[in-house]
């Protein structure tokens, strides 16, 4: 099925991960252009053999005649691979590429150096540990061989900037993933003794007081050896991921106790065990969740699965309406909670969902559980009820012993309608207007209009007079097929404009803010130094240097959902549910930002209309904009004059009228910022929405 799908998508290079060994794996049906055996350790011994030599021989039979096999194996494993594979490219000190670890930069990323016969490439890697440098070396060698095969020129050389770009964005969830540093929270899917050795070595580079272990593993693993190879914990909690292969927590507890750890608790769910560990950990401690990728996946759920709330009425508005109808103040206060209906979406374990459904039904509410049941994955649950019913459910859950730890608190957080602390930003008091000031010759709508400095200043003055809240300066077009702009050239375009706009009357002092639309950390840093207030990154802070800069400067930033920036023409992206998929991706980007030290209070979310979405998908994002409240951040909508409006069939091709309609729709659905070219017209559209909502004050 996978190969059929790759063929249907007409990919240039397909990457197949071998599931079990090589000789007996389904992937052996293909004719590869390059193969890899990263390393060799004892695992799946019942099938692959019970010695390193046997495992290496079985794995290396993925090799094909005349094609290279890349490996970082050494010793007897490497000797065996050389016997089987016709052409071997070794990653190591004497191989085709040597990958050396240069040490950690932060708690979550590091520097590495790749050395070949004719060059050195220093790169940044969003993982830590010497083993990840080796993995990067294998990936680099594989990529070079694969690209050479596709080109057909036999030249295995990738440009150094391309290598750096790829490695800087190489995320690997669940592999020594540092989620926080106070306390240090590490998720690592080590599920065999060799992986536990690597985990222990990597963790030794961190300083902490006590170690709190959360351990969940599969029953067919070498549990005693795994525990022996892990660092000795001060406390341990065992748990079971939600699938049949999971080992009984009591069995895991005995294995840990046999290793000499006295304080071992037997938990239930992985998330529950993680909460227990968090409750006892001090800020200078370390919490380690390990033993299985299934356990790590469940531990990541609270960080990545955003519940999607939908509120159909406002409690304060309900109370005001009642009092306007001459209800007494006490009646209005009592009735408001019964009258306001709420819908909240969660992702929880199916067992928990069943209990939740029973309890909410008893209180008069409704709970619907997804029929899709994937082993070991949480299920979607939609809860509907009044505020009072939800409060009763929360109280009930807080006293429950039915294994629903933390779910009451999660529901309460979703129903909290109090606004964020006012930091004085324009989007905190209504829908703000961000005016586009492109200083590029090739932007899709206004290319060249503000290219000259005097034109840019005049344009910014006109925006201020029209009531703009933010001026967004961009020096690189992201239209489909746009050519990338070198860093120096983009700085030369943007920085003089930022300085000049900062001197325009009305800009600065919190009245009108300056944003810079860039994906390059060098440009962002120069812009902030020149007086910019906000960084608008169409790649969603995928560059770790950009995350580091934003965290260090403590400034607002826009994280946009994008598949490619600039947009790749004719690229087709398929979504199961475009809103759900975009929210999920943005939650991962938010997690990256928070791990880098960026406060969620500084993040603005942009669904990225038109970036890797068809017109219908962009309109669906616009119509379901309120669901992005799940991420707990202000929402920016960038829709102005985009090609999506071509789908609605205006014969004159004019895109301003549909842009204004979309602005009103976005404001109605909760957009905090709209990014537009025609400021005066869009300010008027938002004023109409505000007046219709009762915000008009007549003198």
Share of the chain above pLDDT 70, in %: 83
Q: Which residues sit opposite 383 in a β-bridge? A: 344, 367
Tell the CATH topology of 431-688. TIM Barrel (3.20.20)
pLDDT of residue 205: 87
**CATH 3.20.20.20 residue window(s) in the chain:** 431-688
pLDDT of residue 326: 60
pLDDT of residue 10: 86
Q: What is the mean pLDDT of residues 155-172?
A: 83
pLDDT of residue 684: 92
CA atoms in the 13 A half-sphere facing the CB of 604 = 28
Q: Which of 22-31, 308-317, 351-360, 528-537 has the lowest mean pLDDT?
A: 308-317
Q: What is the mean pLDDT of residues 436-455?
A: 65
Q: What is the pLDDT of residues 483-522, one digit of tens each?
A: 778 888 889 888 999 988 888 877 766 588 999 999 899 9
Annotated catalytic residue 642: yes
What is the pLDDT confidence band of residue 60, given thresholds at 50, 70 and 90? confident
Given a contact cutoff of 8 angstroms between Cβ atoms, the answer to whether 459 and 546 are in contact is no
Q: Which of 326-335, 340-349, 627-636 has the lowest mean pLDDT?
A: 326-335
In terms of average pLDDT, the best of 63-72, 327-336, 362-371 is 63-72
Q: Kindly tell me if the per-residue pLDDT of 63 is higher than 60.
A: yes
Q: Kindly tell me if the per-residue pLDDT of 132 is higher than 80.
A: yes
Residue 296, burial from CB neighbour count under 10 angstroms (0-12, 13-18, 19+): buried
Q: What is the mean pLDDT of residues 419-440?
A: 77
Strand intervals (E) in 315-417: 341-348, 366-369, 379-386
Q: Which residues sit opposite 70 in a β-bridge? A: 36, 89
Active-site hit among 61, 547, 624, 675: 675
Q: What is the pLDDT of residues 10-27, one digit of tens each?
A: 888 899 988 777 777 888
Share of the chain above pLDDT 90, in %: 25
What is the pLDDT confidence band of residue 44, given thresholds at 50, 70 and 90? low
Evaluate whether the domain defined by 2-168 bears CATH number 3.40.1190.10: yes
Nearest to 441, CA basis, from 400, 476, 393: 476
What is the pLDDT confidence band of residue 129, given thresholds at 50, 70 and 90? confident
183: preceding bond cis by omega (within 30 degrees) = yes
**How far is residue 35's CA from residue 22's CA, in Å, rounded to a whole number?**
10
The predicted model scores a pTM of 0.71
> Which is higher by pLDDT, 382 or 556?
556
**How far is residue 502's CA from residue 461's CA, in Å, rounded to a whole number?**
11
**How far is residue 213's CA from residue 183's CA, in Å, rounded to a whole number?**
13
> What is the pLDDT of the chain when averaged over all its residues?
82
Q: Which of 87-91, 118-122, 223-227, 283-287 has the lowest mean pLDDT?
A: 87-91
Pick the CATH number of 309-415 from 3.30.300, 3.30.1370, 3.30.379, 3.30.710: 3.30.1370
Q: Kindly tell me if the per-residue pLDDT of 31 is higher than 50.
A: yes
Give the three-class secondary structure for 203: helix
Given a contact cutoff of 8 angstroms between Cβ atoms, the answer to whether 673 and 635 are in contact is yes
Q: What is the mean pLDDT of residues 229-251?
A: 90
What is the pLDDT confidence band of residue 445, given thresholds at 50, 70 and 90? very low
Q: What is the mean pLDDT of residues 28-55?
A: 79
**CATH 3.90.190.20 residue window(s) in the chain:** 177-304
**CATH 3.40.1190.10 residue window(s) in the chain:** 2-168
Residue 2 parent element (H or E): helix 2-9
pLDDT of residue 457: 84
Annotated catalytic residue 675: yes
Q: Kindly tell me if the per-residue pLDDT of 439 is higher than 80.
A: yes
CATH number of 177-304: 3.90.190.20
CA atoms in the 13 A half-sphere facing the CB of 67 = 20
pLDDT of residue 559: 93
Active-site hit among 345, 520, 595, 642: 642
pLDDT of residue 418: 38
Given a contact cutoff of 8 angstroms between Cβ atoms, the answer to whether 636 and 558 are in contact is yes
Q: Kindly tell me if the per-residue pLDDT of 442 is higher than 50.
A: no
**How far is residue 360's CA from residue 396's CA, in Å, rounded to a whole number?**
10
> Which is higher by pLDDT, 336 or 175?
175
**How far is residue 265's CA from residue 253's CA, in Å, rounded to a whole number?**
7
């Amino acid at each position: 099925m996978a190969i059929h799908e790759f063929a249907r998508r007409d990919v240039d290079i397909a990457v197949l991960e071998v599931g079990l060994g090589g000789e007996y794996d389904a992937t052996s049906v293909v004719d590869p252009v390059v193969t890899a055996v990263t390393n060799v350790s004892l695992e799946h011994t019942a099938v692959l053999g019970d010695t390193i030599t046997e495992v290496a021989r079985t794995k290396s039979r993925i090799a094909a005649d005349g094609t290279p096999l890349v490996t970082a194996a050494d010793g007897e494993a490497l000797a065996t691979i050389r016997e089987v594979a016709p052409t071997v490219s070794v990653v190591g000190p004497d191989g085709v590429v040597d990958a050396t670890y240069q040490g950690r930069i932060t708690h979550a990323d590091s520097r590495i150096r790749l050395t070949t016969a004719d060059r050195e490439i220093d790169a940044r890697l969003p993982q830590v540990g010497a083993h990840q440098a080796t993995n990067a070396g294998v990936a680099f060698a594989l990529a070079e061989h694969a690209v050479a095969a596709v080109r057909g020129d036999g030249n295995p050389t990738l440009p150094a900037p391309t290598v750096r770009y790829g490695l800087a964005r190489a995320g690997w969830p669940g592999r020594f993933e540092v989620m926080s540093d106070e306390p240090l929270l590490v998720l690592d899917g080590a599920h065999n003794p060799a992986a536990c050795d690597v985990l222990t070595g990597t963790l030794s580079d961190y300083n902490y007081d006590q170690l709190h272990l959360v351990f969940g593993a599969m029953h067919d693993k070498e549990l005693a050896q795994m525990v022996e190879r892990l660092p000795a914990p001060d406390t341990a909690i065992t748990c079971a991921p939600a699938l049949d292969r999971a080992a009984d927590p009591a069995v895991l507890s005995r294995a840990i106790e046999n290793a000499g750890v006295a304080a071992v608790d037997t938990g239930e769910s992985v998330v529950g065990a993680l909460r227990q560990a968090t409750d006892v950990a001090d800020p200078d401690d370390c919490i380690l969740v390990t033993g299985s990728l299934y356990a790590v996946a469940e531990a990541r759920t609270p960080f990545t699965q955003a519940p999607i709330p939908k509120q159909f009425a406002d409690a304060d508005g309900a109370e005001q309406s009642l009092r306007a109808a001459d209800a007494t103040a006490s009646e209005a206060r009592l009735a408001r909670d019964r009258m306001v209906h709420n819908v909240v979406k969660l992702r929880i374990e199916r067992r928990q969902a069943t209990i939740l459904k029973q309890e909410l039904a008893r209180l008069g509410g409704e709970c619907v559980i997804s029929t899709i049941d994937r082993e070991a994955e949480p299920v979607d649950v939609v809860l509907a009820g009044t505020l009072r019913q939800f409060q009763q459910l929360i109280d009930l859950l807080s006293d429950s012993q039915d294994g629903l730890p933390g779910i009451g608190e999660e529901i309460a957080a979703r129903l909290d309608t109090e606004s964020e602390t006012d930091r004085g930003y324009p989007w905190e008091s209504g829908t703000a207007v961000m005016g586009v000031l492109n200083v590029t010759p090739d932007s899709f709508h206004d290319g060249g209009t503000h290219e000259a400095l005097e034109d840019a200043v005049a344009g910014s003055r006109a925006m201020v007079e029209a009531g703009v809240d933010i001026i967004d300066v961009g020096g690189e077009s992201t239209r489909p097929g746009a050519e990338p702009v070198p860093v120096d050239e983009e700085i030369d375009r943007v920085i003089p404009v930022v300085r000049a706009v900062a001197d325009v009357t009305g800009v600065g002092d919190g009245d009108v803010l300056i944003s810079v639309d860039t994906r390059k950390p060098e440009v962002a840093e120069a812009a902030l130094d020149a007086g910019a207030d906000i960084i608008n990154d169409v790649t969603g802070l995928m560059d770790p240097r950009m995350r580091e800069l934003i965290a260090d400067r403590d400034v607002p930033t826009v994280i946009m959902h994008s598949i490619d920036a600039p947009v790749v023409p004719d690229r087709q992206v398929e979504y199961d549910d475009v809103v759900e998929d975009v929210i999920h991706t943005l939650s991962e980007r938010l997690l990256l930002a928070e791990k880098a030290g960026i406060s969620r209070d500084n993040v603005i979310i942009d669904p990225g209309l038109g970036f890797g979405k068809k017109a219908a998908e962009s309109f669906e994002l616009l119509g379901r904009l309120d669901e992005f409240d799940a991420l707990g951040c202000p929402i920016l909508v960038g829709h102005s004059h985009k090609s999506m409006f071509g789908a609605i069939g205006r014969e004159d091709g004019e895109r301003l009228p549909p842009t204004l309609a979309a602005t009103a729709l976005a404001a109605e659905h909760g957009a905090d910022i709209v990014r537009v070219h025609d400021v005066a017209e869009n300010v008027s559209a938002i004023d109409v929405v505000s007046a219709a909502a009762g915000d008009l004050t007549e003198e």
